[in-house]
Amino acid sequence: MWRIGINDWTGSEPAPDAHSWWARSGKSAFAERLARTSGRSVAFIATATAGDEEMRERIERHRTERPANWLTIEEPLDMVAAVRQGAKVADVIILDCMTLWLTNWLFRDGSIDVDGEMSRPGELFNEEVAREVERLVSAIQELPDSKSLLIVSNEVGLGLVPDTPLGRVYRDILGRINQRIATEADLAYLLVAGLPIELKHLQASYPW
């Protein structure tokens, strides 16, 4: 059985599950708390990259705050390889986060410049990302039942429509990623002001 962490809202159990959250909502802390309380071995997949000094300090601070016996796997792009590597050494795997992974993936080959100008139609990016996400889902489905996966992401679709083409493409793609992962998850949590709301038990039933 595997479960996932996805989104947050701030205006931005032995085995863990799925979660949905926004920036500074407490989603990463919640995923880490689930892993800690499981009493099992943990691998932490970090997708952040150090683009400036502040980010380098943030990454280092997060690294030192995690338990010393957790394995940290720093991988900005290849989530399939990272999940498989984590599953070889740990029972609980945290993937934090899909939001930064998508940013890394979109900017990986120069198709988007530093000003956010896209050299290809947004729909092509969506199709390429969808294929990559399906690769990840397949890798997750191959995990033994003894493994648990927590995937952290951000919910970026609850605010205003972005005023740039890239912003709108990014919002749409991440929304589809979150839907795909939440569909596969055993549990899906939305974090609001640090409080987890489990979504699957709240979803509406059809009247027919």
Length in residues, the chain: 208
> Which of 40, 62, 84, 171 is flagged as catalytic?
62
201 flagged as catalytic: no
Give per-residue pLDDT as tens, 114-146: 788 888 888 888 899 999 999 999 999 999 999
DSSP 118: B
Q: What is the mean pLDDT of residues 169-176?
A: 95
Within its chain, how far is the Cα of 6 from the centroid? 6
Rounded Cα distance between 6 and 28, Å, is 10
Extract the annotated binding site.
46-48, 63-66, 74, 96
pLDDT for 102: 96
CATH 3.40.190.10 describes domain 7-198: no
Q: Is 122 exposed, middle or buried (0-12, 13-18, 19+ CB in 10 A)?
A: middle
Closest by CA to 103, choosing from 141, 153, 45, is: 153
Extract the annotated binding site for GTP.
46-48, 63-66, 74, 96
113 in Cβ contact with 65 (< 8 Å): no
Domain boundaries along the sequence of the chain: 7-198
pLDDT for 12: 38
115 in Cβ contact with 166 (< 8 Å): no
Give 9's pLDDT tier (boundaries 50, 70, 90).
Answer: low
Closest by CA to 175, choosing from 161, 164, 193, 194, is: 161
Give per-residue pLDDT as tens, 186-198: 999 999 888 899 9
Average pLDDT in the chain: 86
- Residue-wise burial string across 172-191, b where 16 or more C-beta atoms lie within 10 A, e elsewhere: bbbbebbeebbebbebbbbb
Rounded Cα distance between 30 and 26, Å, is 6
Sort strands 195-198 and 188-192 into parallel, antiparallel or unpaired. Answer: antiparallel
